[in-house]
Amino acid sequence: MELRRGRMPREQLPARLLLLLLLLAVAFLCLPAEGRRPPRPPPCPPSCSCTRDTAFCVDSKAVPKNLPPEVISLTMVNAAFTEIREAAFAHIPSLQFLLLNSNKFSLIGDNAFAGLPHLQYLDLRGNTLACDCKIKWLVEWLESTNTTVPAVFCSSPGQFEGQRIRDLALGDFQCITTDFVMHQVLPFQAVSAEPFTYASDLYVALAQPSASSCSILKWDYVERKLRDFDRIPAHSAVHCKPIVAQEQLYVVVAQLFGGSYIYRWDTAVDKFIKIQDIDSQKIRKPNDIEAFQIEGDWYFVIADSSKAGSTSLYRLNQNGFYSHQALHAWHRDTDVEYVENDGKPRLIISSSSQAPVIYQWSRAQKQFVPQGEVGEMLDVQMVKHFRAKREQFLCLSRYIGDSKVVRWEGQRFVEVQTLPSRGSMVMQPFAVGQRRYLALGSDFSFTHVYLWEEEKQKFAKFQELSVQAPRAFRAVPAADVQLLLAPSFKANTLVYRHVVVDLSL
């Protein structure tokens, strides 16, 4: 049979059609996914309803993370968390409207709205915001932002309750406080601590009766720790008093038994040399030592707590310290404090048998003469003083009964404050910078540190320190570190560091 030119046999048509359909199928498979599938809805957390540019979230346990990047409006209702953390919405940089009203947010962390350069409107109404130091940053932010923020009110504390946050002044926040933190543990017992500076170095002398020595520690400015430097033998030391006078370093070593001695640091051999004994007939049971300078002369006084002893004053001459005056014999004195009040040198001697006695320096006689006593306070264990502005105060500690703070007004003493102090052997006021503290130790409980409130003219409880049977507290400025030494009669001697804390951070 003869075929016509230009025409395909009918039996070849199905094969050509099949090939064409196959090519079309392959081409369809090679198309992009979006070209063959319907568009997906934008990503949205289970607790939210989302459109391309809005999100509405209910009962969310946290700020939702997987929101559409184009979202410009976010509303959160009945959120199941109370704190908004730093940069909580930074993953939604296009956000313009943030509605957080009527939730239970009580804390908004620093820079919570950082990373939102386009934010136009922020609603925080209806939340229980605590206007403490943690919200101080928000007060600053509200003053500087261009974002519209409807009025937000404080729910606490009482002094700010109901006030608009925007109306608060930065000065309303008392965000700077301090703390005493453990800095170093000295693995020994001690009953006294005396810091001193010699040849531009900082040292501390500690009486260690259990170790039969006076330990001299030196401050390491690199490691910022106290390190062993030297030891003076002392079988029953109760006080080691360093005195730097006329470019010489002396250490008065007071002992309960075996007499008391005076040592001098010999620079030729780099060690302490005993230079003299202290009359054991006068000083039988020493309890405290104070050193001071009057009219260019150096003195030290030893309080004697024996029935037959006498609190005695010694003066430095060219050859050493020699007895200058016997004060207050046979009264079992427990402590002596040197005070300059109205330019007049005075000694206050506390005793277990009578009220503290005051002696005043007589320039004519070159001696201390009796002036009076601090009345109505018997069994005073220790007397310490401090000055606040122009007024002089005394701290009178008692082992049994309450301790007191009194104001010294001429010839009378006005009670300022009574502090419970059962078992107290030490009550020490001290200052660090502009702050004044009082450390009140106890043999039966924690040491209480108080902070002086100038407006109220009283000490307020500040902190508790766990020091067993403290016998002294000494503030020690060590360059940029402020230390508090706490010698313990029963446990390790502790060194605390004074730190400044910003509660707004």
Whether 212 contacts 225, CB under 8 Å: no
Give pLDDT, residue 388: 94
Element (H, E) at 70: none
Each domain of the chain, given as residue ranges in start order, spans 48-172, 175-190+388-505
Tens digits of residue pLDDT in 385-416: 999 988 999 999 999 889 999 999 988 999 99
Give pLDDT, residue 37: 57
Give pLDDT, residue 308: 81
Give pLDDT, residue 3: 40
Tens digits of residue pLDDT in 38-83: 556 668 999 999 998 999 999 999 999 989 889 999 999 999 999 9
Within a 10 A sphere around the Cβ of 208, how many other Cβ atoms? 21
Mind giving me the DSSP string for 2-31? PPPTT---GGGHHHHHHHHHHHHHHHHHTS
Q: Which residues of the chain have pLDDT under 50?
A: 1-13, 17-18, 26, 28, 33-34
Give pLDDT, residue 279: 83
Cβ neighbourhood burial of 458 (10 Å; 0-12, 13-18, 19+): middle
Tens digits of residue pLDDT in 332-382: 899 999 999 888 999 999 987 789 999 999 999 999 999 999 987 888 999
Give pLDDT, residue 136: 94
For the entire predicted model, the pTM comes to 0.81
Q: How far is C-alpha 414 from the chain's CA centre?
A: 31
Whether domain 48-172 has CATH 3.40.50.12280: the reply is: no
Give pLDDT, residue 115: 95
**Three-class DSSP category at 203:** strand
Cβ neighbourhood burial of 21 (10 Å; 0-12, 13-18, 19+): exposed
Cβ neighbourhood burial of 461 (10 Å; 0-12, 13-18, 19+): exposed
Residues in the chain: 505
